[in-house]
Chains A and B, each alone.
Chain A
Amino acid sequence: MTSFLETAWLVVRKDLLIEVRSREILYTTLFFAVASVLVFAFGFVREGRAVAQAAAGILWIAIAFSGTLALGRAFERERINETLRALLLAPVDRPALYVGKLLGLIVLLGAVEAIVVPLVALMFQAPLFAHPWMLLALLVSGTVGFAAVGTLFAAMLVRARSRDVLLPILLYPITVPVIIAGVRGTAALLQADVDLPMARAWLSMLVFFDVVFITLALWTFEPLMTE
């Protein structure tokens, strides 16, 4: 039997190979995230000055909204040709399929963030790179938490007729703690008097959410995916 990590790697590699060929999810999420940041920049930047601490909120809104788009498309791909059923029929640990899908989404969202973070820094004149490692830790842990819940819900809803409507309705209330922690942690890095202990506290909370969400998702994925 294929091992847990090998299965997860096979799924990640397959998803990334498909994405490299189609570039469908990357382009659509990137376009959406960049468009969101630009629209907010028109609203919140006046005479070259941004509304105080708007950058943190706008960065995380762009990540959450584009992440929702990516989640929907990633599982739509598995639904169209019912390949999700073929994956579930394979003699592998089913939670490994979840981990594979999750890692693929994290890589995609990471690519989107690599463009969006500098764009937010530029448009809102935010010193996002003053503490790059702390920012990276907040982004990684926040993205993992959001994608952990989103991957589970997107997989659950893959056969629901109104999945496009249901996904954000289910996802946002559950991931609100992640988004708040991400916003507050990033805001602590952007204020005039940088508050690193506060950023660390929010980072700890994000890591806690990640552990809880991933544990719950691994535990529930198999029963939820059995019809």
Chain B
Amino acid sequence: MDFTSVAFADVTRTFGRRRVLNRISFECRAGEIVALLGPNGAGKSTLLSIAATLLEPTSGIVRYGERDAAPAGAALRRQIGLLGHDLYLYPELSAAENLAFFGRLYAVDGLGRRVASALERAGLGGRRDDPVAGFSRGMRQRLALERALLHDPRLVLLDEPFTGLDDAATAMLQQRLEDLRRAAAIVVVTTHDLETIEPIVDRAVVLHGGRLVPVEPGAGTLRERYRRLSGERT
């Protein structure tokens, strides 16, 4: 299955008595990069987990094009790429083995070639057979990004993708996001690096107190507008 939009309709999620997301409604379209901002513990990762079908909303629905998550199942998951705060890599396996393992689970065509080019993009071509346990945080982050994108997903969910990256790797990731936009992917990025994300996002939304508020275009940098919005709501 394929889709060109993801729409949240009145999505609420509670953990016990704590309401993390409160009637969230918003839509992302193909070829769009959306920044999901908010303070620590605001529910950004929860929202990404719901979008990734790993977590069910307490109420409300998420629609992928015309389809709901539950009946679409594995076919929908094939179209989702998630880079979590934890990197979903096996430290005992090499970089190439990690990519090959997940590539096989996703039935990626031409896997050997895809793994080689993904490793080159991650700048790990020379370390392909080294165990991930010996990699720095930045190297792991680059590898995890390639793992998430190996199967060319339509919906790309990135949780703090700039963590641990040096300047060169940050520039490469920005370029990668631009490429994803050109490939008509739907990209949702959570980050606190507002200066880094500002040149490439189409729009930004803020999660605050369980509610989602758009950061309106206007005077000032993204950080200034975000601070104004956060200040108004506290």
Contacts and interface: CB of A to CB of B under 8 A. Distances in A.
Interface string A2-21: 10001100100010011001
A90 B105 contact: yes
- Interface hub of B55, B80, B105 (most chain A Cβ within 10 A): B105
B92 A22 contact: yes
A47 interface: no
Contacts of A90: 77, 102, 105-106
B104 A2 contact: yes
A92 interface: yes
Contacts, number: 79
B88 interface: yes
Interface in B18-59: 49, 52-56
B75 interface: yes
Contacts of B106: 2, 90-91
B93 A81 contact: no
B20 to A, nearest CB: 12
A89 interface: yes
B195 interface: no
A87 B80 CA distance: 13
Interface of A: 1-2, 6-7, 10, 14, 17-18, 21-22, 77, 81-83, 85-93, 226-227
Nearest first, the 10 closest Cβ-Cβ pairs linking A and B are A86-B88, A82-B86, A91-B78, A90-B105, A91-B74, A18-B92, A91-B77, A227-B55, A21-B92, A2-B107
Given A85-B82, A89-B82, A91-B78, 18 more contacts: A1-B74, A2-B104, A10-B104, A14-B93, A14-B101, A21-B92, A81-B86, A82-B84, A82-B86, A85-B86, A86-B82, A89-B53, A91-B106, A91-B107, A226-B55, A227-B49, A227-B54, A227-B56
Interface of B: 49, 52-56, 74-78, 80, 82, 84, 86-93, 97, 101-102, 104-107, 131, 147
